[in-house]
């Protein structure tokens, strides 16, 4: 690996070559930005799926609901890819990275060299232990890809009032439950925590979000542990009609036509093992998104040194807005070179649509933050809540108050104190 400040830390030659590994939102934003910033060389876009980049948020909502055709979720079509002169390497998986030589090896043995590398391979859903022999044909799903969404929609609409069990009441699980409920499915959500989202937004706001399920005809069961997921059996034989059984610790069995596992994701770093990059809950980067000289990372896989409030912390965020901004920032860093690149210090933003309600969050909340509702109320279902930590405003959450939420952005950017946040009206 070239030492920081050496030749490899210099600006990317505008007629050079860049390999973007990951046909993701972050990867595509990097491609667009390279061209916008004047890069005239070769850009190779490597993607394990055969699809050009597409948006993931609609997969659990509009695409699954059937209100959008799958093609509406695309970020780039063939025409746009051609306009940006992208060398498409789709349906190929990266299996190894030579950091010193900046070479990417693919699963078919091909090797692509680059003056710069963008690592944007994202994350993969956690699989439920013991389900290796089950597939979508059996009714077991995770939701990460466009093909997953299409197949899940087909499965839940194949039967009248399909029995759907969602394991995990996080944002993806809640959105899937909401959409399936809207399709007429009988939905049960199983959550190991006593309160959904407790570790993200705390017990009070988590309980409020959890209440949306019951208010919309979806059964939410918290504090339950799943023992296993099995094919439905009768007298030792698989039931002819198929189906699954979710077994809880304690012996209770819940029958299901479809089971959706939404227990989080794992950064897709397997192909980087032995590369020399620092891999700790993602690809560890500096504050300019460099993982090594000439190599940047962006999106769900990147864990970067976030400088905020006069402090630094390694942070990895799995949300659309940060991925989009990081793709832009990573490309600009690559163009500028490690020595002259700017720090990437966004104000994180994410949203979740559930049961006709949009939850929005600015900042980086944690479940043990101090939380105070300052506008509206949980009872009316429209409010602004502030998250404080160590005397500072750390995040703001709102339902039905988008203008007031955005009024706090400047305070978050300035690293305002908790007292200043309380005195602010959000206008």
Per-residue pLDDT reduced to its tens digit, 5-23: 455 567 899 999 999 999 9
| Distance of alpha carbon 38 from the chain centroid | 29
The length of the chain, given as a count of residues: 427
The verdict on domain 356-423 having CATH code 1.10.3720.10 is no
Condensed to tens digits (0 to 9), the pLDDT of residues 93-109 reads: 999 999 999 999 999 99
* Model confidence at 235: pLDDT above 60: no
- CB of 123 within 8 A of CB of 111? no
Banded pLDDT at 151 (limits 50, 70, 90): very high
Give the predicted TM-score (pTM) of the model.
0.93
Q: What are the C-alpha distances in Å from 112 to residues 16, 26, 41, 149?
A: 13, 20, 14, 31
The verdict on domain 136-261 having CATH code 3.30.1280.10 is no
Q: 119 has which bridge partners?
A: 21, 297
Q: Which fold has domain 7-124+265-336?
A: FAD/NAD(P)-binding domain (3.50.50)
Measured at the CA of 185, the angle between CA 181 and CA 186, to 5 degrees, comes to 95
* Model confidence at 373: pLDDT above 90: yes
Banded pLDDT at 2 (limits 50, 70, 90): very low
* Model confidence at 238: pLDDT above 80: no
The CATH 3.30.390.30 domain(s) of the chain lie at: 356-423
Average pLDDT over the chain, rounded to an integer: 94
Distance between CA atoms of 407 and 131, rounded to whole angstroms?
46
| Distance of alpha carbon 24 from the chain centroid | 11
Using DSSP bridges, classify how beta strands 86-90 and 42-47 pair: parallel, antiparallel or unpaired: parallel
Q: Taking residues 53-59, what's their average pLDDT? A: 97
The CATH 3.50.50.60 domain(s) of the chain lie at: 7-124+265-336, 136-261
Q: What are the C-alpha distances in Å from 208 to residues 82, 123, 205, 352, 381?
A: 47, 28, 5, 14, 9
Q: What are the C-alpha distances in Å from 412 to residues 15, 56, 160, 346, 388?
A: 39, 27, 48, 10, 11
């Amino acid at each position: 690996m070239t030492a920081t400040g050496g030749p490899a830390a210099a600006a990317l030659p505008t007629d050079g070559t860049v390999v973007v590994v990951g046909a993701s939102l972050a990867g595509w934003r990097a491609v667009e930005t390279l061209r916008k910033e004047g890069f005239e060389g070769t850009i190779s876009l490597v993607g394990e799926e055969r699809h050009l980049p597409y948006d993931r948020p609609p997969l659990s909502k509009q695409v699954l609901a059937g209100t959008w055709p799958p093609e509406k979720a695309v970020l780039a079509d063939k025409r746009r890819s051609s306009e940006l002169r992208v060398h498409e390497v789709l349906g190929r998986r990266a299996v190894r990275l030579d950091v010193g030589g900046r070479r990417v090896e693919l699963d078919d043995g091909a090797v692509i060299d680059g003056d710069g590398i963008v690592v944007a391979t994202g994350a993969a859903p956690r699989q439920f232990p013991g389900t290796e022999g089950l597939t979508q044909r059996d009714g077991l799903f995770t939701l990460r890809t466009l093909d997953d969404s299409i197949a899940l929609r087909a499965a839940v609409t194949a039967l009248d009032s399909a029995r759907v069990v969602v394991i995990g009441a996080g944002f993806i699980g809640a959105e899937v439950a909401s959409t399936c409920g809207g399709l007429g499915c009988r939905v049960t959500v199983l959550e190991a925590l006593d309160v959904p989202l407790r570790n993200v937004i705390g017990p009070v706001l988590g309980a409020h979000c959890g209440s949306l399920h019951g208010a919309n005809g979806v059964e939410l069961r918290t504090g339950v542990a799943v023992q296993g997921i099995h094919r439905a059996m009768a007298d030792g034989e698989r039931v002819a009609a198929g189906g699954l059984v979710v077994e809880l610790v304690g012996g209770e069995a819940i029958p299901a036509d479809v089971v959706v596992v939404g227990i989080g994701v794992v950064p897709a770093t397997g192909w980087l093992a032995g590369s020399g990059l620092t891999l700790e809950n993602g690809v560890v980067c500096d504050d300019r998104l460099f993982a090594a000289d000439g190599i940047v990372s962006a999106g769900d896989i990147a864990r970067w040194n976030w400088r905020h409030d006069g402090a630094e912390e390694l942070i990895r965020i799995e949300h659309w807005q940060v991925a989009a901004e990081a793709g832009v920032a990573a490309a600009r860093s690559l163009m500028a070179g490690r020595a002259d690149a700017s720090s990437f210090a966004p104000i994180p933003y994410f949203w979740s649509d559930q049961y006709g309600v949009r939850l929005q969050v600015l900042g980086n909340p944690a479940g043990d933050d101090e939380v105070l509702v300052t506008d509206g109320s949980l009872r009316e279902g429209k409010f602004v809540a502030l998250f404080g930590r160590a005397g500072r405003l750390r995040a703001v959450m709102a339902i039905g108050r988008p203008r007031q939420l955005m009024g706090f952005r400047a305070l978050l950017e300035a690293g305002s104190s908790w007292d200043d946040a309380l005195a602010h009206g959000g206008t």
